[in-house]
């Protein structure tokens, strides 16, 4: 038997859909092995995970709540990925956005809501943007690898936020917990009915629409697409690559900054230690699974939000929530592996008669 | 032993998704002969040789080596059968020495390297075949011609007696090519079989004993060199007669479009790439640049198109100083560029034909404001495809699916569609078949006659002599001299290309 790969002329549409679906199934399957090894019944665990996230109204709304930061940060990293800028610093950019928004809320408590919220939004975007721009400048002008610098800046941002909540911004009435005082009501994002779904959802949807139009229909979006596909061709066409690297990283960071702002303003109502359970990292997986497309990003964010919610639920069964992280990793693993199927045909021939030497001599 | 059949390929068929690269091809190569494999690009020469060297597996057909049927599972099997191939792009490791490269992948060497013995063997091979190489030199220090010699030594060291060379003269000067032919003849005389892949008819007549012509994946004929001629070969290659269209040269008053004054620029390694270039390209002329690849051609074109910054001198376009301007300004000033690397630089492989035409349109007058207007560009793309007979499945599918010739036509169509003042064309017909070559050349001539300036970089001296109004020769980043095509000879250009300026010592300006 012989197995060979043949490149497809065009990527297979069937595989584009099938690969992610099969990847999720395979990830669940491998996850089940570990659950069995731990003495759990995987069917019970998965039923619990899925039903708690997607069958109750509380689960559904919570899944959306978790999807908001994933989507905002995911949009940010997907923009950077389009230009082959491996921004894995969304987590830090998110924290910086949260810090800046908190600064506004704590420094100007007297502002009315209509000024307070846009101001927090602006500063959240701005701080995230700066955090994105910081590694972009050495990347653009000195070719410093942005994967390393964005990653390292995550720790700086998280520690900086920690310093503030453990030190100068600590709530004097907070029993020494690492968190800031509760924001004034004007600094809290309005939410939908009784749920925790907040205005951040609207930010995310607007951001997705704007990004979609920018990429597909504007000159700037065209430049981003060309630079991402072929920097040499972009230079040849007179595009300013350095400027665009900075601009893209700035917007990418800014979107993650908005995610941070909406987390402190819409969910926590304050800045606190461990604000994000790794949204910025999960956003990378989300962006990749969604193939950087804004619309599918919304869907994948929701599913991954649900995975997080389900993760909390299965803790009640005595199972570590880390199983969810493992599932996320497994899904990405299988999707990356499965991508070969979208671009290649796999040919399996049981016999290779025509290639065996014949009698002629 | 003189007529022993070394290679026999019978009924070879190889299909790739969408194309049949080889269809029922037969080839027979004897010991002691130089056998040319002639055909246009895309005729299936490389596929056939990749099958012979075990890189591909034929769908149908049988190979016999020295009379024995073989079934190569990998290149390793082919090497073991005595087959060695010298690829157009050398497979050498730059930081290693010649000797280290020669023993690379050779299976006979033991764990411990006996350097003295290896060096001695290399020197023996060098001496026997006239392949002068220093075993201790590092590859990166060697010229292209020397590197090619290392590749040949490498294969001889392995004891191969069937040698395949893919377009070996593409990177050589005429003199170096002649030396190569001498070497190949010596190898054939010692009983080896030599196969040379080429698309140059003159080369076949210069060195081969027999020639097999391939056309659209099929073997058309195998001929004795002495019983054929250029016309017949051309006709077999293309399948119909070719019209030789010699265009007259029109005299123009020199009105400079671009002027380079005392230009110096660095190459990608940060070393001097261009030194003291003074050059003027006038409206309505083709300036041909001759030179061995890697002697500053790329740097010169990139300076003229604004892609490479200069360290000294001035660039004037229509009398205006463009020194230090970004490429965008050069494009806006009407400098067009047909780059060497079409799919890497001139076109974006994963984008559609429309998006690729957009590449040079998205900033022009038709596109005001922030948003892209696709409608006019779509229409223009359709017109181009029709006017230039570009074959593609759809103007919305990625251009990487198009063939080389069609890519080049689309690229040229786009570059001409901007009504350029100057076209910098780098190896514009490389890899094109005769039909496409002719249409590309006549397009360049038409542009010249319409008053544009053309900078033509080519490795084909015949082409340069045929098309140019003036010729300059680049060597190590310097202009060695300027010649008129009327009294320049290939020999004279060849000498200048190697940096020898014997018989005009005093005249160098």
pLDDT (tens digit per residue) in B317-338: 988 999 999 999 999 999 999 9
Distance CA A294, CA A277 (A): 23
Give A5→chain B minimum CA distance, Å: 12
Q: Answer yes or no: is pLDDT of B443 > 80.
A: yes
More confident residue, A5 or B487: B487
Share of chain A above pLDDT 70, in %: 94
Q: Which residue of A has its CA nearest to B374?
A: A217
**Cβ contact (<8 Å) for A354 and B59?**
yes
B351: burial class by Cβ within 10 Å (0-12, 13-18, 19+)?
Answer: buried
A343-347, B154-158, B408-412: least confident range: A343-347
Q: Cβ contacts of residue B372 below 8 Å, gap of 6+?
A: A217, A218, A219, A221, A222, B358, B362
Distance CA A2, CA A351 (A): 8
A168: burial class by Cβ within 10 Å (0-12, 13-18, 19+)?
Answer: exposed
Instruction: For chain B, give the mean pLDDT.
Output: 85
A230-244, A281-295, A326-340: least confident range: A326-340
Strand order in the sheet with B320-321: B272-282, B256-266, B310-317, B320-321
More confident residue, A60 or A15: A60
Q: Which residue of A has its CA nearest to B332?
A: A238
Three-state SS at B308:
coil
More confident residue, A133 or A312: A133
Q: Cβ contacts of residue B413 below 8 Å, gap of 6+?
A: B384, B385, B387, B388, B390
What's the CATH number for B256-334+421-503? 3.40.50.300
Residues of A in contact with B10 (CB under 8 A): 360
Q: Choose the closest CB to B359 out of A6, A233, A355.
A: A233
Distance CA B458, CA A220 (A): 36
Site from A218, A237, A351, A359 to mutate, B interface, most B CB atoms within 10 angstroms: A237
Q: Is the dihedral of CA B486, B487, B490, B495 positive or negative?
A: negative
Q: Answer yes or no: is pLDDT of B506 > 50.
A: no
CA–CA distance from A91 to each of A246, B86, B221, B334, B415 (Å)? 19, 51, 67, 46, 45
Residue-wise pLDDT tens digits, A75-122:
999 999 999 999 999 999 999 999 999 999 999 999 999 999 999 999
Residue-wise pLDDT tens digits, B337-391:
999 888 889 999 999 999 999 999 888 877 888 888 999 999 999 999 988 888 8
Q: Which spans in chain A are helix H?
A: 13-37, 42-54, 57-82, 90-107, 113-142, 146-166, 200-217, 219-229, 231-236, 241-262, 279-289, 294-315, 322-343
Q: Answer yes or no: is pLDDT of B171 > 80.
A: no
Report pLDDT for A354. 43
B12: burial class by Cβ within 10 Å (0-12, 13-18, 19+)?
Answer: buried
**Segment A142-162 mean pLDDT:** 96
Task: Count the neighbouring beta carbons within 10 Å of the beta carbon of residue B500.
Answer: 12
Report pLDDT for B225. 84
B25: tokens are 């091809």
Rg of the Cα trace of chain A? 23
Q: Answer yes or no: is pLDDT of B509 > 50.
A: no
Q: Answer yes or no: is pLDDT of A355 > 80.
A: no
| Most confident stretch, A7-11, A159-163, B27-31, B61-65 | A159-163
Distance CA A219, CA A223 (A): 6
Give A68→chain B minimum CA distance, Å: 29
Domains of chain A: 1-40+319-352 (no CATH), 64-314 (1.10.3470)
Residues of B in contact with A233 (CB under 8 A): 344-348, 359
Tell me the pLDDT band of B305, cut-offs 50, 70 and 90: very high
Q: B91-94: long-range contacts (C-beta < 8 A, 24 or more apart)? A: B91/B151, B92/B139, B92/B147, B92/B150, B92/B151, B93/B139, B94/B138, B94/B139, B94/B140
A166-175, A208-217, B17-26, B343-352: least confident range: B17-26
Instruction: For chain A, give the mean pLDDT.
Output: 90
Q: Answer yes or no: is pLDDT of A70 > 70.
A: yes
What value of ipTM does the predicted structure carry?
0.81
Distance CA A156, CA A139 (A): 18
Distance CA B331, CA B364 (A): 10
Share of chain A above pLDDT 90, in %: 67
Report pLDDT for A316. 85
More confident residue, B393 or B242: B393
A158-172, A190-204, B420-434: least confident range: B420-434
A69: tokens are 């930061």
Q: Choose the closest CB to B337 out of A236, A240, A356.
A: A236
Give B36→chain A minimum CA distance, Å: 25
Q: Answer yes or no: is pLDDT of A158 > 80.
A: yes
Residue-wise pLDDT tens digits, A199-251:
999 999 999 999 999 998 999 999 999 999 999 999 999 999 999 999 999 99
Report pLDDT for A113. 93
For CATH 3.40.50.300, the residue range(s) in chain B are 5-238, 256-334+421-503
**Cβ contact (<8 Å) for B363 and A238?**
yes
CA–CA distance from A125 to each of A67, A117, A250, B225, B473 (Å)? 18, 12, 9, 74, 56
Report pLDDT for A280. 95
Tell me the pLDDT band of B108, cut-offs 50, 70 and 90: low
Q: Which residues of A touch B (CB under 8 A)?
A: 6-10, 217-222, 225-226, 229-230, 232-233, 235-240, 345, 354-358, 360-361
Share of chain B above pLDDT 70, in %: 92
Q: Answer yes or no: is pLDDT of A357 > 50.
A: no
Tell me the pLDDT band of A349, cut-offs 50, 70 and 90: low
Report pLDDT for B245. 44
Report CA dihedral (B139, B144, B145, B148) to the nearest 10 degrees.
60
Residue-wise pLDDT tens digits, B191-229:
899 999 987 778 888 889 999 988 888 888 888 888 888
Report pLDDT for A350. 59
Give A143→chain B minimum CA distance, Å: 15
Tell me the pLDDT band of A341, cut-offs 50, 70 and 90: confident
Pick the CATH number of B5-238 from 3.40.50.300, 3.40.50.1100, 1.10.3720.10, 3.10.20.90: 3.40.50.300
Distance CA A246, CA A134 (A): 9
Using N-to-C axis directions, what is the helix angle for A219-229 and A200-217, rounded to 10°?
80
Give A77→chain B minimum CA distance, Å: 21
**Cβ contact (<8 Å) for A229 and B60?**
no
Three-state SS at B276:
strand
């Amino acid at each position: 038997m012989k197995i060979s790969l043949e490149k497809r002329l065009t990527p297979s549409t069937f595989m584009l859909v099938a690969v992610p679906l099969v990847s999720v199934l395979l990830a669940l399957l491998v996850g089940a092995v570990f659950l069995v090894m731990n003495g759990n019944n995987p069917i019970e665990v998965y039923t619990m995970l899925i039903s708690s996230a997607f069958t109750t109204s509380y689960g559904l709304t919570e899944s959306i709540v978790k999807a908001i930061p994933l989507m905002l940060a995911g949009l940010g990293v997907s923009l950077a990925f389009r230009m082959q800028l491996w921004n894995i610093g969304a987590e830090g950019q998110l924290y910086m956005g949260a810090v800046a928004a908190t600064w506004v809320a704590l420094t100007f408590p007297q502002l009315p809501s209509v000024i307070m919220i846009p101001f927090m939004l602006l500063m959240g975007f701005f701080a995230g943007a700066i955090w994105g721009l910081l590694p972009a400048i050495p990347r653009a002008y000195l070719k410093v690898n942005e994967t390393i610098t964005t990653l390292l800046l995550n720790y700086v941002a998280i520690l900086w936020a920690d310093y503030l909540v453990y030190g100068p911004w600590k709530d004097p009435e907070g029993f020494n917990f690492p968190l800031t005082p509760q924001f004034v009501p004007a600094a809290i994002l309005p939410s939908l009915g009784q749920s925790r779904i907040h205005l951040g959802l609207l930010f995310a949807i607007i951001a997705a629409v704007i990004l979609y139009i920018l990429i597909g229909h504007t000159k700037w979006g065209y430049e981003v697409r060309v630079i991402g596909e072929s920097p040499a061709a972009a230079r040849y066409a007179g595009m300013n690559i350095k400027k665009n690297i900075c601009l893209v990283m700035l917007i990418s960071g800014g979107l993650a900054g908005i995610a941070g702002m909406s987390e402190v303003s819409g969910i926590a109502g304050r800045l606190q230690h461990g604000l994000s359970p790794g949204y910025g990292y999960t956003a990378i997986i989300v962006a990749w699974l969604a193939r950087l497309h804004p619309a599918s990003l919304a869907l994948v964010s929701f599913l991954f939000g649900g995975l997080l919610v389900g993760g909390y639920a299965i803790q009640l069964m005595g199972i570590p929530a880390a199983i969810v992280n493992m599932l996320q990793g497994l899904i990405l693993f299988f999707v990356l592996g499965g991508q070969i199927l979208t671009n290649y045909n796999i040919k399996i021939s049981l016999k290779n008669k025509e290639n065996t030497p014949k009698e002629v001599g | 032993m003189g007529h022993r059949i070394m290679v026999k390929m019978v009924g070879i068929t190889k299909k790739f998704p969408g194309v049949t690269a080889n269809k029922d091809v037969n080839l027979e190569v004897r010991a002691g002969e130089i056998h040319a494999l002639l055909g246009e690009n895309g005729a299936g020469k490389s596929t056939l040789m990749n099958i012979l060297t075990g890189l591909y597996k034929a769908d149908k057909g049988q190979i016999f080596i020295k009379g024995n049927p073989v079934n190569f599972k990998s290149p390793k099997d082919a090497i073991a059968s005595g087959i060695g191939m010298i690829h157009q792009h050398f497979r050498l490791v730059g930081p290693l020495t010649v000797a280290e490269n020669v023993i690379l992948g050779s299976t006979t060497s033991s764990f411990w390297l006996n350097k003295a013995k290896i060096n001695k063997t290399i020197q023996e091979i060098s001496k026997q075949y006239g392949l002068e190489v220093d075993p201790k030199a590092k590859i990166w220090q060697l010229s292209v011609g020397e590197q090619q010699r290392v590749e040949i030594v490498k294969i001889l060291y392995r004891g191969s007696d069937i040698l395949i060379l893919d377009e070996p003269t593409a990177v050589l000067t005429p003199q170096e090519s002649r030396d190569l032919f001498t070497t190949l003849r010596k190898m054939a005389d010692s009983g080896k079989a030599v196969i040379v892949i080429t698309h140059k008819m003159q080369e076949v007549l210069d060195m081969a004993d027999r020639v097999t012509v391939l056309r659209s994946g099929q073997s058309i004929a195998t001929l004795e060199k002495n019983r054929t001629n250029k016309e017949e070969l051309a006709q077999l290659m293309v399948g119909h007669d070719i019209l030789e269209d010699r265009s007259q040269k029109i005299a123009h008053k020199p009105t400079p479009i671009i002027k380079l004054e005392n230009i110096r620029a660095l190459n990608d390694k940060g070393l001097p790439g261009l030194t003291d270039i003074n050059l003027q390209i006038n409206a309505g002329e083709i300036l041909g640049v001759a030179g061995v690849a890697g002697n500053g051609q790329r740097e010169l074109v990139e300076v003229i198109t604004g892609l490479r910054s200069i360290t000294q001198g001035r660039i004037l376009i229509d009398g205006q100083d463009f020194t230090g301007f970004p490429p965008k300004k050069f494009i806006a000033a009407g400098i067009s560029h047909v780059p060497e690397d079409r799919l890497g630089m001139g076109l974006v492989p994963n984008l559609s034909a429309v998006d690729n035409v957009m590449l040079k349109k998205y900033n022009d007058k038709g596109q005001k404001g922030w948003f892209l207007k696709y409608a006019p560009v779509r229409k223009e793309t359709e017109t181009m495809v029709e006017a230039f007979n570009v074959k593609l499945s759809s103007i919305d599918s990625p251009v990487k699916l198009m063939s080389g010739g069609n890519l080049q036509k689309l690229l040229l169509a786009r570059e001409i569609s901007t009504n350029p003042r100057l076209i910098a064309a780098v190896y514009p017909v490389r890899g094109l078949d005769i039909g496409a070559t002719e249409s590309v050349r006549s397009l360049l001539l038409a542009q010249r006659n319409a008053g544009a300036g053309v900078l033509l970089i080519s490795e084909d001296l015949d082409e340069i002599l045929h098309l140019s109004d003036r010729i300059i020769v680049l060597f190590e980043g310097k202009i060695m001299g300027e010649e008129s095509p009327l009294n320049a000879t290939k020999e004279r250009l060849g000498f200048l290309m190697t940096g020898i300026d014997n018989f005009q010592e005093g005249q160098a300006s």
